[in-house]
Amino acid sequence: MSENGSRRTVEFDIDRYVRNSKKVDLTQIDWEDIPNHPLSDGDVMCLHYMMDIETHTVIYLRDLLATRVSHDPHVTAFLSCWVYEELWHGEAFSDFLRQYGLEVPAEPRLPDGSRPLPSRPARTARLREQMGVGHQLFVLPSMLGSLLMRDFVALHMTWGAINELTTLTGYYQLIRRSDHPVLHRMLRKVIQDERRHFAFYRAQAKARLTGNPRAGRIVRWALKAFWSPVGAGVKTEEEVDALALYLFADAPEGRQAVRDVDRMVSELPGLQGLTLLEDVLDRAIERARRKPGWAGTGPGLVYGAQHDGARPNGGSGAPPPTHWRPAAAPREDALAVQPGEPANDPA
Peptide bond into 346 cis (omega under 30): no
Q: Output the pLDDT for position 104.
A: 58
Per-residue model confidence as pLDDT tens digits over 281-325: 999 999 988 887 788 776 543 343 333 444 433 333 434 344 344
High-pLDDT (> 90) share of the chain, %? 45
Which residue(s) pair with 235 in the sheet? 232
Q: How confident is the model at residue 344 (pLDDT cuts 50, 70, 90)?
A: very low
- What contacts 231, CB < 8 A, 6 or more positions away? 49, 52, 53, 239, 240, 243
Nearest to 188 by CA among 177, 174, 202, 199: 174
Q: Output the pLDDT for position 59.
A: 74
- When pLDDT is averaged across residues 76-93 and rounded to a whole number, the result is 92
- When pLDDT is averaged across residues 78-84 and rounded to a whole number, the result is 92
Per-residue model confidence as pLDDT tens digits over 228-287: 998 887 888 988 998 999 999 988 999 999 999 999 999 999 999 999 999 999 999 999
Q: How confident is the model at residue 102 (pLDDT cuts 50, 70, 90)?
A: confident
Q: How far is 136 from 88, CA to CA, in rounded Å? A: 24
Q: How confident is the model at residue 330 (pLDDT cuts 50, 70, 90)?
A: very low
Nearest to 78 by CA among 169, 193, 167: 193
Please say if the pLDDT value at position 132 is more than 90: no
Nearest to 244 by CA among 273, 282, 276: 282
Please say if the pLDDT value at position 134 is more than 90: no
Please say if the pLDDT value at position 160 is more than 80: yes
The pTM for the full model equals: 0.78
Please say if the pLDDT value at position 108 is more than 80: no
Q: How far is 14 from 205, CA to CA, in rounded Å? A: 14
Q: Output the pLDDT for position 41.
A: 81
Peptide bond into 105 cis (omega under 30): yes
Q: Output the pLDDT for position 309.
A: 42
- When pLDDT is averaged across residues 20-42 and rounded to a whole number, the result is 93
Average pLDDT, the chain: 77
Q: Output the pLDDT for position 118.
A: 53
Q: How confident is the model at residue 135 (pLDDT cuts 50, 70, 90)?
A: very low
Q: How far is 296 from 288, CA to CA, in rounded Å? A: 9
Concatenated DSSP letters of 93-125 = HHHHHHHHTEESS--PPPTTS---SSS-HHHHH
Q: How confident is the model at residue 55 (pLDDT cuts 50, 70, 90)?
A: confident
- When pLDDT is averaged across residues 173-186 and rounded to a whole number, the result is 96
- When pLDDT is averaged across residues 176-185 and rounded to a whole number, the result is 96
Q: Output the pLDDT for position 40.
A: 84
- On whether the CB atoms of residues 201 and 164 are closer than 8 A, the answer is yes
Plot region of 62 (φ>0 → left; ψ -120 to 50 → alpha; else → beta): alpha
Using CB atoms within 10 A of its CB, is residue 322 exposed (0-12), middle (13-18) or buried (19+)? middle
Q: Please tell me which residue, 104 or 90, carries the higher pLDDT value.
A: 90
Note the Cα 305 to chain centre separation in Å.
29
Per-residue model confidence as pLDDT tens digits over 198-239: 999 999 999 999 999 999 999 999 999 989 998 887 888 988
Q: How confident is the model at residue 175 (pLDDT cuts 50, 70, 90)?
A: very high
The type of residue at 337 is: V
Least confident of 4-8, 128-132, 317-321: 317-321
Please say if the pLDDT value at position 133 is more than 80: no
